Structure 1
Amino acid sequence: MAQPIQTIKKTELTEEQKKVQSLENLLSEVAQNKDSLLETLHLLQELHDSGILEALGSLVKAKESVAKIAVGQLTRPPVTNMINNAMAAGGALTAIDPEMTQKLMTSVANGLQKAEQGLQSGEKVGILDLMKVLKDPDINRAIGFGLNLLKGIGEGLKE
C-alpha cells in the first residue's frame, strides 16, 4: 500500500520563467488578434499622417490648462443660462403627454405646409374672409386651442 502524501510542494517559477511565460501569452494573443491589431496600426498611422495624433498628444500634455479653459468657458453666464434653460425645458417636457406632443408637432408641420401654399397663392385675406373661416371646424378648433393655450400661459405667468 502506498504512503499518504504528507506535504505538497508548490513549484514557484523564477523571474526568467515568468517572463518567458508572459511573452508566450502575449504572442498567443497577438496571433489570435492579428487582424484587429493591424487595423489599429493602420488607424494610428492615418491619425499620425493627418496630424491628429500629434494634436491629441499635445492636448493630453496640456490637460491641466485645457481643463482650466474648459471650466472657464462652461461657467460663463451664457453657458450656465443655456444649461439652466435646457434643464427647465426638460423638466417641462416630462410633464407633457408624449401623444399630445406628437399630435401637436404633426399639426404644426401640416400647418406649415398649408401656410407655404397660402404664401405661394398670393391671395389677399379680407374681413369677410375671416368671418367665413370661423365657420370652418378645423380653423375653429385651432383658434380654440390657441385661446386655451394663451389662457393656460396667462394663468402660469400669474404665479
Structure 2
Amino acid sequence: MAKSITNIKRMEIPKEKQHERDLQEVKEAVTENKEAILQGIKLLKSLNETGTLDTAYAFSQSKHKAIKYLVEEISKDHYAQMLENLPEIVFMLGDVDMKSVREATVRLNEGIQEMNSTDPEQKTSILDLAKALKDPEINRSVTLMMQFLKGMGRQ
C-alpha cells in the first residue's frame, strides 16, 4: 500500500513575480475602465473644488457624532409635523401627473412674466373684460380656469 500524503508544500511565488502580476492586472483594469476612471477623477475634482469632498471626508471620520447631532436636531418639536407628513407627501408625489404639473408650471411662469411686464396701476372695466374674451389666448385661459374650478369642486 502507498503511504498517505501528510505534508503539502505550497508553491511559493516570489514577491517580485507576484508584484509584476498585480501590476499587470491593475494596468488591464485601468485600460478596460478608462472612461469610468476619467469620469471619477472629474467628479472628485469637482467635489474637491466645491469643498464637498472635505465635508464628506469629515463626515466619514466622525459619522457617529454627525448622526447623533442630526437625530437630535430632527427630534425637535418644530420638525415633528413635517416628519409626520413626510410619508404622505412621498405617496402623494407618486400620484401626481408630473407632465401636467410641468406644463401648468410653464404656463404659470409665462403668465407671471406677462403680469410683471404690465403697469400695475392699469384699470380694467367690464367692457374691457368682454373685449378680452375675444382674444383667443385669454379665452383659452378663462376656459381652462373654469374647467379647473369645475374639476376641483366635483364630489
- TM-score bracket, normalised by the shorter chain, equals 0.5 to 0.7
Number of matched residues? 131
Alignment correspondent of 1:91: 94
Q: Take 1:54 and 1:90, find their aligned partners in 2: how far apart are those partners?
A: 31
Q: Check the 8 A contact 1:73/1:79 in 2, yes or no.
A: no
Alignment correspondent of 1:113: 113
Q: Rate the CA distance shift 1:22–1:82 in 2: closer, same or farther, 3 A.
A: farther
- Any gaps of 5 or more consecutive residues in structure 1? 1-9
Alignment of 1:25-104 (within 5 A): 25-29=21-25, 56=57, 58-73=58-73, 76-77=79-80, 79-80=82-83, 83-84=86-87, 86-93=89-96, 96=97, 98=99, 100-101=100-101, 103-104=103-104
Q: Rate the CA distance shift 1:54–1:28 in 2: closer, same or farther, 3 A.
A: farther
Q: Take 1:130 and 1:66, find their aligned partners in 2: how far apart are those partners?
A: 59
Q: CA deviation at 1:69?
A: 2.7
Q: Rate the CA distance shift 1:141–1:79 in 2: closer, same or farther, 3 A.
A: same
Q: Rate the CA distance shift 1:92–1:54 in 2: closer, same or farther, 3 A.
A: closer
Deviations 1:92-138 (A, max 9, x none): 32xx383x445434433432333233238x53222321232233333
SS in 1 for 2:122: coil
2:11 to 10, 13, 22: 13
How does the TM-score come out when normalised to structure 1? 0.53
- Any gaps of 5 or more consecutive residues in structure 2? 1-7, 31-36
Q: Which of the two has higher C-alpha Rg?
A: 1
Establish whether residue 133 from structure 1 lines up as the match of residue 137 from structure 2: no
Q: Take 1:119 and 1:151, find their aligned partners in 2: how far apart are those partners?
A: 31
1:24 to 20, 24, 30: 20
Alignment correspondent of 2:148: 149
Q: Take 1:107 and 1:55, find their aligned partners in 2: how far apart are those partners?
A: 40
Alignment correspondent of 1:6: none
Q: Rate the CA distance shift 1:97–1:53 in 2: closer, same or farther, 3 A.
A: closer
Q: CA deviation at 1:149?
A: 0.9
Q: CA-atom RMSD, angstroms?
A: 4.3
Q: Check the 8 A contact 1:133/1:139 in 2, yes or no.
A: yes
Q: Take 2:112 and 2:119, find their aligned partners in 1: how far apart are those partners?
A: 10
Paired-residue identity, % = 23
Q: Rate the CA distance shift 1:13–1:69 in 2: closer, same or farther, 3 A.
A: same
Q: Which amino acid aligns with 2:123?
A: K
Alignment correspondent of 1:4: none
Q: Take 1:142 and 1:21, find their aligned partners in 2: how far apart are those partners?
A: 77
Q: Which amino acid aligns with 1:113?
A: Q
